[in-house]
Every structure is written in structure tokens, then in C-alpha cells.
Amino acid sequence: MSNFPSNEKALGMYKKMYQIRKYEESIYYLFLEGIMPGTIHQSTGEEASAVGMLYDLRKDDWMASTHRPAGHDIAKGISVKAMMCEMFGKAEGCCGGKGGAMHTGDISVGVIPANAIVGGNLPIAAGVGLAFKMQKKDNVVVCFFGDGASNEGSYHETMNAAGIWKLPVVYVCENNMYSANTSISLTCCQKNVAADRAAVYGIPSEVVDGNDVLAVNEAAARAIARARAGEGPTIIEVKTYRHGGHSRNDACGYRPKDEEKLWIQGRDPVKNFRKVILEHNVISEEELEKVEAGIEQEIEEAVEYAKNALLPSYESALKNVYWEG
């Protein structure tokens, strides 16, 4: 376990991780019951990556996500109410009900609407980083991508540019070992997908236990400090594991059962960090249960609110279609 933070920060990170977990669980059952439209790509099991990387960012720092954005969005500051309304296609959704699960975001809290194209957000984050640099600001961009995206041309082109221009971007490879239903062992010959390639572009890198929120947070602090100081990008590879399938229709029959048991039962980031904060006397068991109950109530209220919220107007379909500047 890494150096332990203040009690306030440790509890704050746990609350955010628990909020993400309960949000995703709620979404799962709503889809299972046929109550919610669309489809989902869930981040259950990857909460430590999202919270560890984003917890210390400023509001005016930006984040770019993937087709699995819920944990990142909530960790960066989008409310569960706005997220839930978006999932129900309601006008009060974070993207006005137009985005759905794979396109959530809110520029007001520094969240670039998520990109469902594999590797599509990498050059966008570089562009934002270049804008910050040209404006002589010390803002930072954190850009998440999956292990599969590291095989895309956009990855290599972007890393080359980011390295040359020393852009203030922290690129985070969430290596959950599978590109949809294909094992990374079949698509990449490197042990560390992103880190082993980083040196080619002159970019420093770290490989971190993605299920240890404190280890992720410390790596994030180092990379963010480099970016703010004008020292350029960092590639951080977090080793993690999604508990569910690639999408809601994926039963995960391709994953070994012993592997699933190791990661889901033995290395659950939320349950393990809960034990840690109790062992460090951050909060009592009784008080923690009250905190968790409050978060669960918040999720339930968000669901009920979203169910009854207004749908977008017909006229709104003609807005945001093209830039009107």
C-alpha cells in the first residue's frame, strides 16, 4: 500500500469510488429490467483508476474519456442526477439527452464529451493540451484509453506529436486485459502495453496497480506536476479489470474463471480500499455504513428524478448540429 493521505482525502476518495460503483450497479439493473433505453459499457471494477487519476485535478483541468466513461465522468465532477437523466434521454441530462451512455460529458466541469471511437479521444486531448500551451496556461488534460487503443494509428501519431511539442497531457492506459472479447496476449507482444512503447516517443511512463487508488493517485500527482511545469506528457498504464463484459450483451464466456475470481473477488478496488480506511481508523464501521447509505439514497433519488424528468423538445433536435459561431 502506498503512503497514506489525510483522513479527509482518503474518505473522499472512497466515497467517490462507492458512488461510481453504486451508480453502475443501478444502471445494470435498470437495463436488465428493460426500464432504460440504449446500451451500456460499464466501468465496474475500474473505480480506483478513475478516482486516483482525477481526484486532485482542478475544475478547469480537462478530461477525455472513452466508450466506458461513467466512472471518469463522476470522478471529475458530473452529478449522478445529470448522468442518470442522460441515460434516460432526458433534457436535464449532462448532454441534453442526446449523448447516451457512450457520449456523456460536461465542459463546465472540464469533461470533454466521451468518444466511442477507439483511440478517437487521443488526438482531441492533444489538441486541448496544445491550446492550453499556446495560451500559456498551466491547465492539464487527463486522457484515458484502453489497451486496444494502443494498437491504433491515432495512438502512435498522437504520442509522437505530444512528445515533440511537450504537451500538458497525462495519457492513461486502462489495461483491463481485453479489447472487447480478445485477450491482449493475442494483440500485443509487449508486457506493458503503453509503457514499453513510450520511450520511442521520448515520453516518460509508469506502470501502476490500477486497483490501488493510492498508488494511482501518487502516479497521477507526479504526472500532473510534470505537465503543469511545462515538462510534457506522461503515459501511465494502470493494470485493472472490468467486472462485467465489454457491453451489456457480453457474458464473458471467453475469460478463465480462475482469472475472474482472482480479480473480482480478491482484487476488488472498492472493497479492498474500504478495508484499508477502516484499518487506518479513518472512520468507524458504523459511520461508514451511514455514509454508504446516504450515497445509495442519492442514487435512488437520481433514478426516480430521471424517470419523471422532461424529454427534450422536438426543436432541440435541430440544435448543436453544426457550429453557429
Spell out the residues 6+ positions from residue 108 whose beta carbon is closer than 8 angstroms to its own: none
Residue 325 belongs to a domain: no
DSSP conformational letter for 49: H
Residue 173 belongs to a domain: yes
pLDDT digits (tens, 9 = 90+) for 188-218: 877 887 778 888 899 999 999 999 999 999 9
131 vs 260, higher pLDDT: 131
**Alpha-carbon gap, residue 128 to 293, rounded angstroms:** 39
Residue 2 belongs to a domain: no
Q: Choose among 34, 99, 97: nearest CA to 311.
A: 97
Residue 324 belongs to a domain: no
Residue 324 has pLDDT above 50, yes or no: yes
- Mean pLDDT, residues 133-150: 95
Cα-atom radius of gyration of the chain, to the nearest Å? 19
Q: Give the pairing type, strands 169-175 and 141-146.
A: parallel
**Alpha-carbon gap, residue 25 to 192, rounded angstroms:** 30
- Mean pLDDT, residues 308-315: 94
Cβ atoms of residues 147 and 182 within 8 Å: no
Residue 173's beta-bridge partner residues?
Answer: 145, 237
Residue 33 has pLDDT above 80, yes or no: yes
Residue 169's beta-bridge partner residues?
Answer: 141
Residue 227 belongs to a domain: yes
Which of 90-94, 153-157, 176-180, 302-306 bottoms out in mean pLDDT, i.e. has the lowest?
176-180
The CA distances from residue 238 to 164, 294, 307, 311, in Å, are 24, 30, 36, 38
66 vs 248, higher pLDDT: 66
**Alpha-carbon gap, residue 178 to 147, rounded angstroms:** 7
- Grid coordinates given for 309: 424528468
Instruction: Give the pTM.
Output: 0.94
Residue 1 belongs to a domain: no
> For cell 484515458, what's the residue?
144
320 vs 145, higher pLDDT: 145
Residue 114 has pLDDT above 70, yes or no: yes
Q: Choose among 93, 89, 71: nearest CA to 24.
A: 71
| Domain extent for 266 | 7-318
Query: What pLDDT band is residue 320 in, cutting at 50, 70 and 90?
Result: confident
pLDDT digits (tens, 9 = 90+) for 34-86: 898 888 999 999 999 999 999 999 999 999 999 999 999 999 999 999 999 99
**Alpha-carbon gap, residue 61 to 132, rounded angstroms:** 10
**Alpha-carbon gap, residue 48 to 195, rounded angstroms:** 19
- Give residue 285's pLDDT: 98
Domain count across the chain? 1
Cβ atoms of residues 235 and 222 within 8 Å: no
- Give residue 1's pLDDT: 46
Residue 254 belongs to a domain: yes
Query: What pLDDT band is residue 288 in, cutting at 50, 70 and 90?
Result: very high
Residue 143's beta-bridge partner residues?
Answer: 64, 171
**Alpha-carbon gap, residue 315 to 170, rounded angstroms:** 39
Residue 42 belongs to a domain: yes
Residue 16 has pLDDT above 80, yes or no: yes
**Residue 244 Rama label (left phi>0; alpha psi -120 to 50; beta):** beta
**Alpha-carbon gap, residue 151 to 190, rounded angstroms:** 11
CATH number of the domain that residue 112 is part of: 3.40.50.970
Residue 2 has pLDDT above 60, yes or no: no
